[in-house]
Amino acid sequence: MKAGPSQEEIRRHNLGTLLRHVHIGGSMSRAVLAERMGLNRSTILGLVSDLAAAGLVREELPRDTGRAGRPSLVVRPESDQVYVLAFDVGVDRLTAARIGLGGVFLDRREMPMSPDRRDTGAVTETLSGFARQMIDTARHGTLCLGAAAAVRGMVRRADGVVRSAPYIDWKDEDFGEDLARRLDLGLPVSVGNEASLGALAEHLRGAGTGCQDLVYLHGDIGIGGGLVINGRLLDGDSGYGGEIGHMVVNPRGGRPCGCGARGCLEAEAGERALLEAAQRDPSAMGREAVRAVVEAADRGDSTARAALHDVGDWLGIGVANLVNILNPRTVVFGGTLREVFLGSAAQIRSRINCHALAASREQLRLRVGELGDNAVLIGAAELAFSAMLESPLETLARGRAL
């Protein structure tokens, strides 16, 4: 329990808050900013001037107001001047993006990852290659603020060590530090769990915008999760919160899970379970394979229908549990669970109605992710931008023209 902030801390907070408004909300007038922040216009003018002088925002005429008369200037983020690097280490694919202030994709690269190139050495080499290419094509004088990477595993918050990422055989890898060394940018590199970052992205820019209590389920090779509680991403005590896929839903005779237990949500409702139940090649994972099952069910294929029915049952039980425990406003199905949800929504809803308490579910909304395959990269970029939105000028001073 600390004392209230100093004048300097308040100024920093206000600069960060204003920048966050235009970073997330896009161009807006000073009048709107004054209204949203509860500050008077002259204070807003001062804050905008400071951020503009630093090259973080620009005031300009709006593109098209659709109204007669002289339009007000709007404040917009300098998206092509100030950027971060975002990386996504998938199970069979590496993706990277250069993302400007305001969340604009300025560049994007990807490459399949072969099973013999999954060690951290090979991964950091590929990612730093992407980084060099993307930096080389950036306009001269633009500023890089930092980088962040998503992994399908458990990341210790304190130091970014990947404690366990079973699908790529990582255990206690100091990936954040390795990547920082390889990138050699002299900038901070953060690491986060892919589903937590997906949750952050959908919360800020996708299906969960404006919602303060959100559960995000991310289907990939497994089932990951991210929880937004009171507008903040839940880390838990050490950073491992949100491992929804390892909630036990079927403790008696459940299917074996990669974690060593049985009956986990991931084992009962993950891609492998769906493809096996649909009598399809379980090694042909990914969005296309899942979509094929949903399309077959739509065409009347009874095996595919039964598979989606079963998986929907388990997902519904898992979501009902989360609704009882957390009373969220919105549950978002992202990654390949987007497709699964579209094929089994009725079953999921029926189970939720059966197992979630009436009061806890009366305001509940089920949504599919809106950011598709970019959700994780967008979340990683937000992680990399977060220092900037806490203290803009100090972070900018540490930025690098590469």
Greatest alpha-carbon span in the chain: 71
Minimum distance, C-beta of residue 282 to a second copy, in the bound complex (Å):
23
Minimum distance, C-beta of residue 323 to a second copy, in the bound complex (Å):
9
Of the pair 81, 164, the CB lying nearest a second copy is at 164
Minimum distance, C-beta of residue 342 to a second copy, in the bound complex (Å):
24
Of the pair 94, 165, the CB lying nearest a second copy is at 165
Minimum distance, C-beta of residue 155 to a second copy, in the bound complex (Å):
9
Of the pair 68, 358, the CB lying nearest a second copy is at 358
Cα distances (Å, whole numbers) of residue 287 to 167, 220, 296 = 17, 8, 14
Question: Where on the chain is the footprint of a second copy (CB under 8 A)?
Answer: 1-5, 9-11, 13-14, 17, 20-21, 36-39, 43, 154, 156, 163-164, 212-213, 225, 227, 229-230, 232, 234-244, 246-253, 259, 261, 264, 317, 320-322, 324-329, 354-360, 362-363
DSSP states along 274-300: HHHHTTS-TTS-SHHHHHHHHHHHHTT
Q: Which among 195, 184, 261 is positioned nearest to 223, based on CA atoms? A: 195
Minimum distance, C-beta of residue 224 to a second copy, in the bound complex (Å):
11
Of the pair 164, 303, the CB lying nearest a second copy is at 164
Of the pair 29, 324, the CB lying nearest a second copy is at 324
Minimum distance, C-beta of residue 1 to a second copy, in the bound complex (Å):
5
192, 379 in Cβ contact below 8 A?
Answer: yes
Minimum distance, C-beta of residue 337 to a second copy, in the bound complex (Å):
16
Of the pair 198, 339, the CB lying nearest a second copy is at 198
Residue written as token pair 């408004």: 21
Of the pair 107, 209, the CB lying nearest a second copy is at 209
Q: Rounded distance, CA 325 to CA 318, Å?
A: 11
Q: Rounded distance, CA 311 to CA 210, Å?
A: 30
Of the pair 33, 293, the CB lying nearest a second copy is at 33
DSSP letter assigned to residue 272: H
Q: Which regions of 123-222 does DSSP assign to beta strands (E)? A: 143-151, 154-155, 162-165, 170-173, 189-193, 214-219
Of the pair 117, 163, the CB lying nearest a second copy is at 163
Determine the angle formed by the axes of helices 194-205 and 375-390, rounding to 10 degrees.
70
Cα 229-232-236 angle, rounded to 5 deg: 75
Minimum distance, C-beta of residue 142 to a second copy, in the bound complex (Å):
26
Name every residue whose Cβ is closer than 8 Å to that of residue 239 and which is 6 or more positions away in sequence.
154, 155, 156, 157, 158
Minimum distance, C-beta of residue 11 to a second copy, in the bound complex (Å):
8
97, 122 in Cβ contact below 8 A?
Answer: no
> How much helix, strand and coil, in percent to the nearest 5, is found in the chain?
45, 20, 30
Q: What is the dihedral of CA 349, 351, 353, 358, to 10 degrees?
A: -120
